[in-house]
Amino acid sequence: MLRLGRREFEPREPVVMAIVNRTPDSFYDRGATFRDEPALARVEQAVAEGAAIIDIGGVKAGPGEEVTAEEEARRTVGFVAEVRRRFPDVIISVDTWRAEVGEAVCEAGADLLNDAWGGVDPGLAEVAARYGVGLVCTHAGRAEPRTRPHRIEYDDVVADILDVTVGLAERAVALGVPRESVLIDPGHDFGKNTRHSLEATRRLGEMVATGWPVLVSLSNKDFVGETLDRPVKERVVGTLATTAVSAWLGAQVYRVHEVAETRQVLEMVASIAGHREPAVARRGLA
């Protein structure tokens, strides 16, 4: 059972996490939700389309202008509080690697801390434990935040992913984070080249076999773009194909830009796998 905020999810129940970037320079939407009004509209749309989790980020993942902890908090804390007020039942996640930002957003009502940089600040897990919120434990190849990989090598990338993410998850639980609120994430693109991310996808079942709920953040990423030789705005088809494979292999949470399309893919895979009844079944019966 996965428990986040006020919600509980069965082991095979897919969960959509919608991305809402509070940044002026995000790689995909180029700042479309930097201001409050469009960001709140995005939340409303995502919830209406079936997102259970809203993931709010105040710093883009890639290199760029420095964003201090104070500025990151300014972009996220008040917004978290407003989303909490308007959508009391939605699960609010914040994408941050900084303990001080984690503390501030938990005070404002966050339910989940999405640590995409692999525990670079060990204090973030301590914050999650203190507030009793969830934590995403990600493999980032031991990279520093906001850096791109350069000629990175692994003897076995999936073995490294398992070692890091399970280690972070076990540490979080030992600190007091509720076990049912801890997820592991292979960290596609983070500290990896395209072949590493493809292998992580192909062998995702090994992560699922650990028993920890698996979150995948695939949406329009560079490994999709390089695999198909497509620019950012033409990666949706590749993203959805990777989503389908990940769903078949047992991932549970999907961090995405396209909520409605992702939900259809997840429902179709679940029905093929026999975990979900068709919405309508009239063919050959009437």
Catalytic status, residue 255: yes
pLDDT digits (tens, 9 = 90+) for 214-245: 999 999 999 999 999 999 999 999 999 999 99
pLDDT at 286 over 90: no
Residue 56 contacts by C-beta under 8 Å, 6 or more apart in sequence?
A: 20, 21, 22, 76, 79, 80, 83, 92, 93, 94, 95, 105
pLDDT at 279 over 80: yes
Phi, psi of 46 (to 5 degrees): -65, -40
In CATH terms, 2-273 corresponds, of 3.40.640.10, 3.30.420.240, 3.20.20.20, 3.40.50.1820, to: 3.20.20.20
pLDDT digits (tens, 9 = 90+) for 19-66: 999 999 887 777 899 999 999 999 999 999 999 999 999 999 999 999
State the catalytic residue, choosing from 255, 276, 282, 283: 255
pLDDT digits (tens, 9 = 90+) for 165-204: 999 999 999 999 999 999 999 999 999 999 999 999 999 9
State the catalytic residue, choosing from 221, 233, 263, 283: 221
Catalytic status, residue 42: no
Residue 27: predicted pLDDT: 75
Distance CA 208, CA 201 (A): 11
Angle at 117 between CA 60 and CA 132, to 5 degrees: 105
Task: Report yes or no: 257 and 235 within 8 Å, Cβ to Cβ.
Answer: no
- Rounded to the nearest angstrom, the gap between the alpha carbon of residue 122 and the centroid of all alpha carbons in its chain is 19
Residue 123 contacts by C-beta under 8 Å, 6 or more apart in sequence?
A: 99, 102
Domain ranges in the chain are 2-273
